[in-house]
Structure 1
Amino acid sequence: MKRNKSVLLQTVAISVLAGIATPVSAEEIMQIEEIIVKAQKRDQSIQDVPISIQVVGGQDLQDRQISDTESLASYLPNVMVSKDSVANNIYVRGVGSGSNSGFEQAVATFVDGIYHGRSRYSQSTLVDIAQIEVLRGPQTIYFGNNAIGGAFSVTTRKPDLAEWDGYLQAAYEFEGNETTVEGAAGGPLVEDRLAIRLAGRYSNLEGYVQNLGTGQTDPNIEDVFFRGTALLQLSDNWQASFKGEVGDQDSRGSFSTELFNCPPPAPFSAATTFSCGYSLAVGEEAELDYRRASSPGEQGSINAEEYAFTIERDNSEGPGIFLQAARSQHDFLLAADTDSVSAEFFAFNTTEDFTQDTVELRIMSQFDSELEWIMGAYYLDSDTRVDTTLNFPFATALLGGPLSALAPFAPLAGDLQHDQNEKAYSAFGSITYPFNDKLSATVGLRYTKSKKTGTQSATNATSDDPFGLTVTPLPAALQPVAAFLTGFVDHTTSGAVEDDDLLPSFSVQYKANDNISLYAKFSEGFKAGGFDTLELTGIPERYTFEPETVVSYEAGLKSYLFDRTLSFNLAVFYSDYDDLQQSITQFTETSAFVTIDNVGGLRTQGIEADLLWRASDNFEIGGNFALLDAEYRDYANAGCTVLQAFEAEQAGQIGCAQDLTGKAPPFAPTYSGNIRVGYNREIGNSFELTAESILSFSGAYDVIGDKDPNTRQGAWQKIDVRVGLRNVDQGWNLAVVGKNLTNEKVIGAANDVVASAGSYSVQLARGRTVAVLASYQF
């Protein structure tokens, strides 16, 4: 019955908006506006770019209250973003890097061309954005060696040299008691010569998950962000700009996990010790219902800064030149209680200190040149420090007999530290040759070289606080004894990883006319190797992992139809990944292990389609849809589910692995998409009514690498509705925005619970939200 009501509500909402449209003749309809993108590092119409691409405008981000890529992903077929413990999940077409802080993300993020490869950047606040381009498939020619699965290309709004403009927007969301205020203003200090733009945002989320252990609501997140940009017109063709931005996010319970599957079924029905046993004893619930229990003290913070200087010459009267130097840095902390009960059984903390310097130079052909070309060089230098501590308070009960020497040092913890430096160099270029006014071909090439040096250490220690924010190492004589229990072998390992590759790309494009074009594309991609920041054993061979590569094919259609009142784009793709970098998580009775390995391969193929129909000046309907078939080609050494590990132990086997060859990777639903209906109507001479409804949907998929069926996310549908009233003359706007109105529960991350076999620690994505907002534009 609940599912029937959900479908009925979605159908009614979309039908209401569709039913109020007034048919008009084609000549009365405003045509679909052309979208300009920088997917190939120069301004081009989206219809001329041989890439499967979706673009979301800055105004849409504001109207829909989208402030990060996790929220954005719900509207993007074949794109999945969710928060996890040590690293976030970012997947496109079933390709992602998994949960290990040693990974650069296979789906890279770029803000104004600056590389954001660490997964925590997916939590960065989106403020005063011009547009976001979501590029699906390998983008290594123009975006570098790590954009092997796709890229988010974010462009912020720039100052205007001619006039002042800006906005102020305030919103309140009722379900999470979230207050948001953001705004921006910019314009000329010296007309046509010098302009500035300032943007900022403040938000305070009080929480939407009831914590039975602390009596509070989680997550509680306070976020402050500020950006300043200056633009100087040096001459008719030359411009220079400087951008500086800072962000500060403080949180409590930001990784709000819930206990699930307690009590577990057979064969674990008797294994109700520690977390599950405690939950049953004191009556703490274990359902996925936005209620949880944890001990107090969970905290998190993200402090980020970025500075960029750019000088460029436009290509109106000769070759264009672009030179950018940037520094990015962030400090990250997460201290989380992942046993999902109010007792102190298992917790962890992780910190990350990161600094990155980049320089990029590009030179491109004059805009009216018959032969289009671009060439460039890129340099990156980064330093990363990752500290992770796992706390095992529950293990105190096991410190008897041969382990009794450890009792005075309880509670035990395992402490990991990793330092890394990377230097990367690359040179790239492409040239487009027009055979005639309809047919053209583009050849691209990129050479990239990466060298990483690292040092990693692990030790057993006494935790000085419930989350191991400070620890005291155990005496050397007790390290082997503790390692028997925790799996942490006291060690320090150093290593170096040096990789390089030459990556070709070739595409052909046929323009039947100004409104219809076809393309086919071949490309190769490369993602450098690296270090396992969570390696416990001290075995040198396990510290490093090899690069992964991809060979990709894509063909597509881009079109405007019916006097440009309808656009339809279609892409088919096939990609073969080799030596795929995978994070493998294993849980034992007393510890948790995360390792990295290169698996044989992954094949991903499918279809993506985008449709937008402007039925009248007041009404439009659109949709995005994707079919995906992704499977491992060779993955015989995958981590086991908890049930498989139990059965292996009962059979007397040492260790456990499963063969996932032919199985789908995580976050790879066989279908996903959305349907959007928009409506606007003038009321009198000064007012405009706007309404929008979006139905997003996805098939089922796994959220962890071992494909445990108990943590599989089922198919879901979400409906968002926005209704607003705008004063056209005075620039103010009032709106109500509802998201996920049917309150679908979607799993963002899941793990086994240490020492409670058969139970799971699960994080749900945010449920229903209802917000009111007021804005003023000038």
Structure 2
Amino acid sequence: MKNRKTRFVLSVGTLAIAATSTPVSAQVEEIIVTAQRRDQSAQDVPISMQVVSGDDLQDRQISGTGDLADSLPNVMVTNDSVSNNIYVRGVGSGSNAGFEQAVATFVDGVYHGRSRYSQSTLVDVQRIEVLRGPQTIFFGNNAIGGAFSVTTQKPSLSSWEGYAQGAYEFKADEKTVEAAVGGPIIEDRLGIRIAGRYSDSDGYIKNLTTGQDNPAIEDKFLRMTTNLRISDAWDASFKVEYGKQDSVGSFPSQLTDCPPQPPFSAATTFSCGYALAVGEESDFDFRRSSGAGEIGSIEANEYVLTLEKDNVDGPGIVFQAALAKQDFLLAADTDGVSADFFAFNTSERLNQKTIEARINSPENSSIEYTAGFYYLDTDSRIDTTLNFPFATVLLAGPLAPLAPFAPLAGDIYLDQSEKAMSLFGSVTVPVTDQLFVTAGARYVHSRKQGVQAATNATGNDPFGFSVTPLPAPIQPLAAFLTGFNDHTNQGIVRDDDFLPSFSLRYEVNPDVSVYAKFSQGFKAGGLDAIELTGVQSRLTFSPETVDAYEIGLRGLFADRTVSLNLALFRSDYKDLQQSVAQFTATSAFVTIANVGALRSQGVEAELQWRPNDRFELSANVAYLDAQYRDYANAGCTALQAFVAQQAGQVGCFQDLSGRSPPFAPNYSGSVNASYDLPIGDSMQLSFEGAVNFSGAYDVIADLDPVTRQGAWQKFDARVAFGDRDDRWTVALVGKNLTNERIITSAQDVVASAGSYTRVIGRGRQVALQLRYRFE
């Protein structure tokens, strides 16, 4: 590994020497962002954030936030079962379908609270603003850990423009086509832009049972945006988009640690015992064994109407109304072997309506202000079925009455509605020509109500798409085995809070400013989508809150050829909502618990050097110290549960106080260098190299050391040839060139204590890319 790092450093040094020998001046490009819901230079915004342009996304062949997260320090996005893991600064919600994510996504200002909702929306993007820490004032009540703010391209009212891009990735046999075109239908009055993307991938993991590669994914996306210039001051836009992703083996977990290490018996049963008996492999690699029938589907459509008045001659006004629908389905075989021992399916239907209205101060006002109203109305239905065909061999003796109903399954649903409302505002006052004081606040109110039920049933197919509930008299006996108590409960959760925010920004000179900020954040409570005990008090969970402190510097130096941004932060969370996996001898389920307290603190730094118009060097690094301050009732590891069982204890808990949460490495970051070499009068050859790196971290809520992900480095590169006007480009793009094996999620194997299933991230990728632009 040392030799890899040395070669990369030498390569960057060679590029730097070549670059500085070129006497062509350049400056770091100014970036306009909307992190505070109005157009501002990134240098004037007192927030730790990273901005990624749409061009950069296309160059790097990035189609989702998971791909993007590797290059973002203190940001983790990985694939999991019922939802993705999205963590910023060690704060996230984990995997539970009942959660809105602590790190929220907003696309053109519209809230996407479910992690799967934004699976395919990074198409024809202008930029992504990755905002770290609680975003209290401008991004609603649930962005308590951070936010991804995505801005898509808008139609031009003056000229037609667009692009077409195709790519082929060799390892996964992935074909991708993306295109956009837009321009005026009526010049200076009415414009339209249409963008779409299609990709088809065979997958990067070989399923040794079916002979297929997983996850095989077909992804389709289409967006149309229109813009109407009503008058010199008023504009109206309407956006409609549709996305559909179908997959086979979309959660490709694989059996590992079989046979398990002592003190677990080598004479294991079920999954591990079967694998040992028939010789199925259990190495952590790009192979797995699983039965046929694993499928996934995500379908979403969205309609957004926006009316906007500019703030040139008076206050600016924005009104936005959005309607969104999402259907999600996943059926996965999670026992890690070809035999049918344990599998599940989960589905969600979500209908969401949002309304937001804002007023902004006039453009030349000495006092800047923003005030607004936000309303959210959602209805969702979440269904989950766990199939236990392995338990059939246990149906003898006292459990014999269950035999006619085998194979057993547990069926759960949550039917929920939510109405949330908030009022927000901020005002920035110039105390002097250099000192600015900002005060803001948000009042939030949320009401959730729902019906949640669970029952024992007969699974009529391997994944439980069809089940038949067991007769009532035999339900208690089935509950003894599966842990599912037959019940139907209702719950109502009402939360409200007042969240202040204060900041000071001092302009040392026009290019350098320092800031200090305090804010409070809030994430509403809710209902557990997969509560199976029937205990009424366990159905609901409480809101979480945070007090966040941050100081920072944002500056341009050396004639604006160097940009340096620094942030030091501390966030104290209370009642943090966490999903906790619980495993019994015959069942597995995920519950929701409120962690007493968590502290996240550290430093983030972003450096960019652009000495001329050919060369650029950037580095983004972070140090993180995230620790539970009070978490005495965490779920046990497999080893702790085994020891407790051997001692005859009933139940098992561990104290994780003082330990780091999942996906919270002590250090992370990326270093990137690029160089453009002119060829003749009109052509150029471009080189780009990057190393993304992270320290070790846990990937499972119980912090089991067996599944801990070690420190890693990923090397990416791009070589492109095209004309200097960037009208056409031919490129070779490589990602994770050293084929690092990264754990994205892990779980204990039901009834095979000491063994685990893990999901491996995508390995080496090499893609040929073609792009043409016109305007």
Same fold (TM over 0.5): yes
| AA in 1 matched with 2:5 | V
Over 3 Å counting, the alpha-carbon distance change for 1:91 and 1:122 in structure 2 is farther
CA contact (8 A) 2:27 2:612 kept: no
Task: Show CA shifts across 1:720-764 (max 9, x none).
Answer: 000101123581110000000011111000000101100001001
CA contact (8 A) 1:17 1:693 kept: no
CA contact (8 A) 1:692 1:723 kept: yes
Displacement after TM superposition at 1:11 (Å): 4.0
Partner of residue 729, structure 2: 733
Query: Does residue 247 in structure 1 map to residue 213 in structure 2?
Result: no
Which stretches in structure 2 are left out of the alignment for 5+ residues?
none
Q: Distance in 2 between matches of 1:461 and 1:351?
A: 18
Partner of residue 64, structure 1: 60
Q: What is the TM-score of this pair, normalised by structure 2?
A: 0.99
Q: Distance in 1 between matches of 2:29 and 2:5?
A: 33
CA contact (8 A) 1:719 1:739 kept: yes
| AA in 1 matched with 2:146 | G
Task: Specify the SS of the correspondent of 1:397.
Answer: helix
Displacement after TM superposition at 1:421 (Å): 0.2
Task: Specify the SS of the correspondent of 2:653.
Answer: coil
Partner of residue 673, structure 2: 677
Q: Distance in 1 between matches of 2:616 and 2:729?
A: 21
Query: Does residue 526 in structure 1 map to residue 522 in structure 2?
Result: yes
Q: Distance in 2 between matches of 1:12 and 1:428?
A: 51
CA contact (8 A) 1:523 1:552 kept: yes
RMSD (Å) for aligned C-alpha atoms: 1.0
Q: Distance in 2 between matches of 1:215 and 1:277?
A: 22
Partner of residue 402, structure 2: 406
Displacement after TM superposition at 1:12 (Å): 5.2
Query: Does residue 186 in structure 1 map to residue 182 in structure 2?
Result: yes
Partner of residue 434, structure 1: 430
Identity of aligned residues (%): 64
Query: Which of 135, 140, 143 pairs up with 2:136?
Result: 140
Q: 1:154-169 to 2 correspondence within 5 Å? A: 154-169=150-165
Partner of residue 690, structure 1: 686
Partner of residue 552, structure 1: 548
Q: What is the TM-score of this pair, normalised by structure 1?
A: 0.98
CA contact (8 A) 1:17 1:692 kept: no
Query: Which of 19, 22, 33 pairs up with 1:21?
Result: 19
Query: Which of 768, 771, 774 pairs up with 2:770?
Result: 774
Query: Does residue 279 in structure 1 map to residue 275 in structure 2?
Result: yes
| AA in 2 matched with 1:649 | Q
CA contact (8 A) 1:70 1:122 kept: no
Partner of residue 449, structure 1: 445
Q: Distance in 1 between matches of 2:147 and 2:602?
A: 18
Query: Does residue 7 in structure 1 map to residue 5 in structure 2?
Result: yes
Task: Specify the SS of the correspondent of 2:5.
Answer: helix
Task: Specify the SS of the correspondent of 2:654.
Answer: coil
Partner of residue 600, structure 2: 604
Task: Show CA shifts across 1:416-450 (max 9, x none).
Answer: 01110000000000000001110010000100000
Query: Does residue 368 in structure 1 map to residue 364 in structure 2?
Result: yes
Query: Which of 346, 349, 353 pairs up with 1:353?
Result: 349
Q: 1:48-127 to 2 correspondence within 5 Å? A: 48-127=44-123
Q: Distance in 1 between matches of 2:492 and 2:621?
A: 43
Q: Distance in 1 between matches of 2:348 and 2:95?
A: 14
Displacement after TM superposition at 1:125 (Å): 3.5
Q: Distance in 2 between matches of 1:530 and 1:240?
A: 36
Query: Does residue 224 in structure 1 map to residue 220 in structure 2?
Result: yes
Q: Distance in 2 between matches of 1:20 and 1:482?
A: 72
Q: Distance in 1 between matches of 2:716 and 2:8?
A: 9
Q: Distance in 2 between matches of 1:12 and 1:353?
A: 52
Task: Specify the SS of the correspondent of 2:326.
Answer: strand
Query: Does residue 616 in structure 1 map to residue 580 in structure 2?
Result: no
Q: Distance in 2 between matches of 1:328 and 1:92?
A: 26
Query: Which of 11, 29, 33 pairs up with 2:29?
Result: 33
Partner of residue 711, structure 2: 715
| AA in 2 matched with 1:502 | F
| AA in 2 matched with 1:281 | A
Partner of residue 45, structure 1: 41
CA contact (8 A) 1:703 1:749 kept: yes
Query: Does residue 627 in structure 1 map to residue 623 in structure 2?
Result: yes
| AA in 2 matched with 1:348 | F
Displacement after TM superposition at 1:602 (Å): 0.2
CA contact (8 A) 1:271 1:756 kept: no
Query: Does residue 755 in structure 1 map to residue 751 in structure 2?
Result: yes
Query: Does residue 418 in structure 1 map to residue 414 in structure 2?
Result: yes
Q: Which moved more, 1:409-418 or 1:118-127?
A: 118-127
Partner of residue 261, structure 2: 265
Task: Specify the SS of the correspondent of 2:176.
Answer: strand
Task: Specify the SS of the correspondent of 2:163.
Answer: strand
Query: Which of 691, 694, 701 pairs up with 2:697?
Result: 701
Query: Which of 315, 331, 338 pairs up with 2:327?
Result: 331
Task: Show CA shifts across 1:576-626 (max 9, x none).
Answer: 000111111111110012111112100010000000001222111110000
Q: Distance in 2 between matches of 1:121 and 1:478?
A: 39
CA contact (8 A) 1:253 1:299 kept: yes
Displacement after TM superposition at 1:506 (Å): 0.2
Query: Which of 346, 369, 383 pairs up with 2:379?
Result: 383
Instruction: State how many pairs are aligned.
Output: 774
Q: Distance in 2 between matches of 1:671 and 1:728?
A: 38
Task: Specify the SS of the correspondent of 2:19.
Answer: coil
Partner of residue 148, structure 2: 152
Query: Does residue 308 in structure 1 map to residue 304 in structure 2?
Result: yes
Over 3 Å counting, the alpha-carbon distance change for 1:193 and 1:432 in structure 2 is same
| AA in 1 matched with 2:334 | T
Query: Which of 463, 468, 471 pairs up with 1:467?
Result: 463
Q: Distance in 2 between matches of 1:428 and 1:52?
A: 21
CA contact (8 A) 2:718 2:732 kept: yes
Displacement after TM superposition at 1:14 (Å): 3.6
Task: Show CA shifts across 1:27-65 (max 9, x none).
Answer: x41111110000000000000000001000000000000
CA contact (8 A) 1:184 1:200 kept: yes
Task: Specify the SS of the correspondent of 1:324.
Answer: strand
CA contact (8 A) 1:133 1:153 kept: yes
Partner of residue 658, structure 2: 662
Partner of residue 591, structure 1: 587
CA contact (8 A) 2:27 2:611 kept: no
Displacement after TM superposition at 1:19 (Å): 4.8
Over 3 Å counting, the alpha-carbon distance change for 1:640 and 1:122 in structure 2 is farther
Task: Specify the SS of the correspondent of 1:141.
Answer: coil
Q: Distance in 2 between matches of 1:67 and 1:367?
A: 36
Q: Distance in 2 between matches of 1:272 and 1:721?
A: 45
Over 3 Å counting, the alpha-carbon distance change for 1:525 and 1:584 in structure 2 is same
Which stretches in structure 1 are left out of the alignment for 5+ residues?
none
